[in-house]
């Protein structure tokens, strides 16, 4: 069975600037990848390149064996790229329910299933996007990405700026999503400790290149790696 996501020698960036000089990465079904690195190392550029909103200078991206390299972002979304950007990008003038039904595609993730996972969204189903708290907006952004029934779920700093209790709820939900099967996930997160328990695999970027790729458990057992690449001690990685 082909990898769900296969990136080969991808060279990408913005304008004339190359941020990812030669990125190769594969992900299989059910894999949860934590993408770590200091600010400006290319994490968001990698996510954006999978979504299709950077400039590609070379290389290929395949999704479930299908070449999506030249597809537009909307075509990639329909093909199975689910994206939760840092800005969340929810439709503020639509209700919670309309946000999800506007993009929904057939599959196991229905609006009702999202409501089961995030009961708070069900309570707010008639509220507009601009009437939600930051945590509720993040739940909606994740729920909307899921109703696309993606093969790959991309989350760019999903817990940033949220209260600890909301972070716990989101991480529990992400655990449920990733274990449900049929998808793989890439999660960009500044706080390594938050995500190590959820991810199976960790990739650390430096200057647009992979400098560390290992099982999450191995990184937990060797906190010196976190200190070397992220400048944080393993016991208190912030």
* 3-class SS letters over 4-23: CEEEEEEEEEECCEEEEEEE
Mean pLDDT, range 17-43, rounded to an integer: 95
pLDDT tops 60 at residue 131: yes
Structure confidence at residue 120 (pLDDT)? 95
Nearest-10 Cα torsion for 161, 174, 195, 26? -120
pLDDT in tens, 168-194: 999 989 888 887 778 999 999 888 888
- pLDDT reading at 199 higher than 80: yes
**Alpha-helical runs (H) found in the chain:** 43-51, 73-79, 96-101, 111-117, 119-123, 134-147, 164-179, 192-196, 216-221, 223-230
Tokens of 109: 């993730």
Structure tokens at 178: 């990733």
Residue 30 CB-density burial (10 A; 0-12 exposed, 13-18 middle, 19+ buried): middle
pLDDT of amino acid 226: 87
Which pLDDT does position 231 carry in this prediction? Answer: 82
Q: Could you please report the per-residue DSSP string of 154-179?
A: EEESTTTT--HHHHHHHHHHHHHHHH
The band of 237, judged by pLDDT with boundaries at 50, 70 and 90, is very low
Give residue limits of the domains in the chain.
5-232
Domain 5-232, architecture per CATH: 3-Layer(aba) Sandwich (3.40)
d(CA 30, CA 231): 30
Mean pLDDT of the chain, nearest integer? 92
Render pLDDT for 38-91 as a digit per residue (tens, 0 to 9): 999 999 999 999 999 999 999 999 999 999 999 999 999 999 999 999 999 999
Tens digits of residue pLDDT in 136-177:
999 999 999 999 999 999 999 999 889 999 999 999 898 888
Predicted local distance difference test score (pLDDT) of residue 42: 96
């Amino acid at each position: 069975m082909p990898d769900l996501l296969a990136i080969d020698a991808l060279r990408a960036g913005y304008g004339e600037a190359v941020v990812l000089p030669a990125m190769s990465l594969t992900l299989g079904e059910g894999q949860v990848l934590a993408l770590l690195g200091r600010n400006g190392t290319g994490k968001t550029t990698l996510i954006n390149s999978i979504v299709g909103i950077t400039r590609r200078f070379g290389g290929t991206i395949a999704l479930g064996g299908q070449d999506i390299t030249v597809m537009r972002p909307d075509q990639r979304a329909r093909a199975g790229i689910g994206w939760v950007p840092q800005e969340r990008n929810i439709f503020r003038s639509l209700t919670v329910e309309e946000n999800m039904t506007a993009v929904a595609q057939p599959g196991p993730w229905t609006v009702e299933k999202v409501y089961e996972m995030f009961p708070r969204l069900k309570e707010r189903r008639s509220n507009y996007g601009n009437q939600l708290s930051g945590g509720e907006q993040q739940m909606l952004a994740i729920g909307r990405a899921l109703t696309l029934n993606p093969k790959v779920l991309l989350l760019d700093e999903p817990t940033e700026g949220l209260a600890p209790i909301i972070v716990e709820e989101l991480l529990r939900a992400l655990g449920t999503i990733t274990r449900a099967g049929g998808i793989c996930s890439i999660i960009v997160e500044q706080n390594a400790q938050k995500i190590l328990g959820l991810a199976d695999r960790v990739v650390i970027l430096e200057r647009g290149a992979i400098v560390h790729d290992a099982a999450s458990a191995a990184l937990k057992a060797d906190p010196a790696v976190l200190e070397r690449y992220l400048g944080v001690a393993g016991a208190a990685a912030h």
